[in-house]
Amino acid sequence: MNKDLADDVYFEHYCSGIDIVFGNNLDEIAFVKDHNFIFRYVSKGYLDLLYPDKPEVTIADVTGERSGRIKSDKRGVNFDKIFLKQDVLVRDSAKVHRFLYINTHNKIFIVTKRPIINPATGNFVGIFCCMRNFMHPHILNLIYKINDVNFGMANAAQVEPLKYKLTQRQHMVLFLYLQKYSYSEIASILATLGHKISAGRVNDHLENLKYIFAVKTKEQLIEIALSYKYHLFIPRQFLKPGSYLLDDEIIISEE
C-alpha cells in the first residue's frame, strides 16, 4: 500500500481490508469507527449481537449517516456514554485498550479497541474494535489438563441434569468455593457485595450442595461441580451491566 495516502483514502483502504478479513465470517464480532466515532463498518456477527431478532438489518442500515441507529441496550445502563468515553481514551492515548463488556442479557465479552493511525501523517483516523467471548478457565483444572493429570470427575463433562436447581445463595457460595476461598473468606466477600452471611451459614450451604450433587466430601463437590462447568457460571448477582477497563495480565515467572 502507498505510504503517502491521505487520511480519508487510507481509512477507506483500511475498512476494505477489514471487510475482506471479517466479511465472510458470520461469527466474528467487529466494527470500525471513523475519527468522529461514527460507524463505518460492522461485521455480520456484530449486527446479530445487536439485532438477534432482526435478520433484515444490514450494514448499510447502521453505518455512516445512519450510525445513530445502533442503539445499545437501555435497561438501566447508558452504554453509549460509556463507549464514547472509551473511544476518547483510545484516541487520546493512541494505544490499544481492552475492556470487559457485560451486557444486560447473558453475555460477557473481551473488547479490544485499537486506534487506526495513518502512518504517512501520524493522524488518528478511526478505531477498530473486535469482541471475543470471555474465557474463564479454572486455573487448577487447567494446570492439571496441561500436565495430563486425571483429576477424578473434574476431567469428565457431565450430561445428566442436576435433580435440584440451585438457589441464588447456593450458586454464589459454590462459585466462590470453586475459586478456593475459605468459609470465612466467602462470608467476607459476600458481605462486601451486600449479601450478609456467616461462615457457619456458608458451611450449611456447602453441606446442602453435597446432597444436591450426591457426593460425600467437599473435595468431591469441587470435582463434580467442575465437571458440570459451574466455574463458568458466574452468578448474575456478582455482575453489573457495563464495560470496564482491563489492565491485569497473567505473567509466567522465570523461576
- Concatenating the DSSP letter of every residue in 142-187 gives HHHHHTT---GGGGS---SPPSSPPPHHHHHHHHHHHTT--HHHHH
- Supply φ then ψ for residue 166, to 5 degrees: -75, 145
Same domain, 152 and 130: no
Structural domain contains residue 164:
yes
Residues 234-255 pLDDT 10s = 898 998 888 999 887 777 777 6
pTM over 0.95: no
Same domain, 129 and 177: no
Nearest residue to 98 via CA among 77, 82, 114: 114
Same domain, 126 and 149: no
Same domain, 108 and 144: no
Structural domain contains residue 149:
yes
Structural domain contains residue 98:
yes
CATH number at residue 49: 3.30.450.20
Residues 1-28 pLDDT 10s = 456 889 999 999 999 998 888 876 667 8
| Domain span holding position 197 | 139-238
pLDDT bucket at 88, cuts 50 / 70 / 90:
very high
Residues 189-204 pLDDT 10s = 999 999 999 999 999 9
Q: Which residue has the higher pLDDT, 134 or 172?
A: 172
> Which of 45-49, 64-68, 139-143 is most confident?
45-49
Residues 24-48 pLDDT 10s = 666 789 999 999 999 999 888 888 8
Same domain, 124 and 12: yes
Structural domain contains residue 25:
yes
Structural domain contains residue 254:
no
Please tell me the total count of domains within the chain: 2
CB 124 within 8 Å of CB 91: yes
> Looking at 135, 154, 175, which one is the last position of a domain?
135
Q: Look up cell 444486560; give the residue.
A: 104
Angle between helices 199-212 and 218-227 (to 10 degrees): 60
pLDDT bucket at 75, cuts 50 / 70 / 90:
very low
pLDDT, mean of residues 114-130: 96
Helix, strand, coil % over all residues of the chain, rounded to 5: 45, 15, 40
Sign of CA dihedral 120, 123, 124, 125: negative
pLDDT bucket at 77, cuts 50 / 70 / 90:
low
Same domain, 150 and 91: no
CATH number at residue 182: 1.10.10.10
Same domain, 126 and 220: no
Give the whole-angstrom CA distance, residue 102 versus residue 240: 7
Same domain, 60 and 149: no
Structural domain contains residue 24:
yes
Same domain, 41 and 160: no
Nearest residue to 108 via CA among 228, 240, 231, 248: 240
Same domain, 22 and 47: yes
